[in-house]
Amino acid sequence: MKAEDLKFIVQEKYGEIANQSKIQNESSCCGATGCCSTVDYSVFAESYDQEQGYNADADLGLGCGIPTQFASIKAGDHVLDLGSGAGNDCFVARAIVGETGKVTGLDFTDAMLEKAERNRAKLGFTNVEFVKGDIEEMPLPSDSFDVIVSNCVLNLVPDKEKAFAQMRRVLKTDGHFCVSDVVLKGALPEKLQKDAEMYAGCVSGAIDIEQYLGIIKGQGFQNITVHKQKAIDIPVEILQDYLSESEIADYKSGETGIFSVTVSAEK
């Protein structure tokens, strides 16, 4: 699929998701009503209930981690959230940066931006803003942000090298990022990947973890750290269609499979 076609599909899909509830998103394929009834999006999501600044109206259940937990955000920081959706991670980050800091959310789906802005207005925040833009070509000035976060979004970006290059460009000299994302370990049969997408939501675009970390290193980032990883549990009845018993054992042992990871690195 061409990159522009993939971006169009992502925009359309997340436009639909923006108009659904968290419960609807967790019980339909990638949030698209009618796509499939067996998907369990909650296999990725983590609970934000205990996070300061959490706003339930902004939580559509689409994340695969809580990047702000490992992002070392400080009061007064300027934080950028890539693929900010309805504003969930932005509002958590705002609770940390306080009145003296600032949070910018970047998204390219109009319906998400509108929902995020409604949530911001209800909360009355004047130091949170939402900007329309493509992660591969951010309409943001260079050397502007102390911290970048992102939650289950970069796997959907066709050109990850461009994405990380842009992240490095907009970070300040001593800035850093922390992202939660979906990656693969080992070689998964293509048909298994497609079935996994139907079961667990947006696996599409996920690449091998070593390739993922290699792209980050290749863009000049340092002190790359994997803080957390969680295997996505695909039912045995799906695995049996594509894997031998020994391959299933490898999958279950964590040698092969689909994982959510939280990764940080410094400019």
Residue-wise pLDDT tens digits, 97-117: 999 999 999 999 898 999 999
pLDDT of residue 154: 92
Kindly report the pTM of this predicted structure.
0.84
pLDDT of residue 239: 77
Closest CA to 57 of 9, 103, 10, 120: 120
Sign of the CA dihedral 137, 141, 142, 148? negative
Q: Higher confidence at residue 120 or residue 247? A: 120
List, for residues 114-145, the tens digit of each pLDDT value: 999 999 999 999 999 999 999 999 999 999 99
* 81 pLDDT more than 80: yes
Long-range contacts of 24-32 (CB under 8 A, 24+ apart): 25/60, 25/61, 25/62, 26/61, 29/197, 29/198, 29/201, 30/197, 30/201, 30/202, 31/60, 31/62, 31/201
Residue 247 gets which letter from DSSP?
Answer: H
3-state secondary structure of 107: strand
Tokens at 164, concatenated: 């990380």
As assigned by CATH, the class of the 3-266 domain is alpha beta
CB of 114 within 8 A of CB of 91?
no
pLDDT of residue 33: 36
Average pLDDT of 231-256? 78
Domain boundaries, the chain: 3-266
Average pLDDT of 161-189? 93
Average pLDDT of 206-217? 94
pLDDT band at 9 (very low <50, low <70, confident <90, very high): low
How far CA 64 is from CA of 67, 160, 231, in Å, comes to 9, 18, 11
pLDDT of residue 19: 62
Q: Higher confidence at residue 143 or residue 241? A: 143
What residues have CB less than 8 Å from 219, skipping those under 6 apart?
A: 161, 164, 165, 167, 168
Alpha-carbon dihedral angle through residues 118, 119, 120, 123, given to the nearest 10 degrees:
120
Average pLDDT of 70-87? 97
Place of tokens 């009503």: 33
- What letter represents residue 197's amino acid? E
Average pLDDT of 17-34? 49
pLDDT of residue 32: 37
Place of tokens 């702000």: 68
Provide the b/e sequence for 166-204 (b: ≥16 CB within 10 Å).
bbbebbeeebbbbbbbbbbbeebeeebeebbbebbbbbb
Burial of 230 (0-12, 13-18, 19+ CB in 10 A): middle
pLDDT of residue 14: 61
pLDDT band at 59 (very low <50, low <70, confident <90, very high): confident
Sheet with 257-266: strands ordered across: 128-132, 102-107, 78-82, 145-151, 171-185, 257-266, 222-231
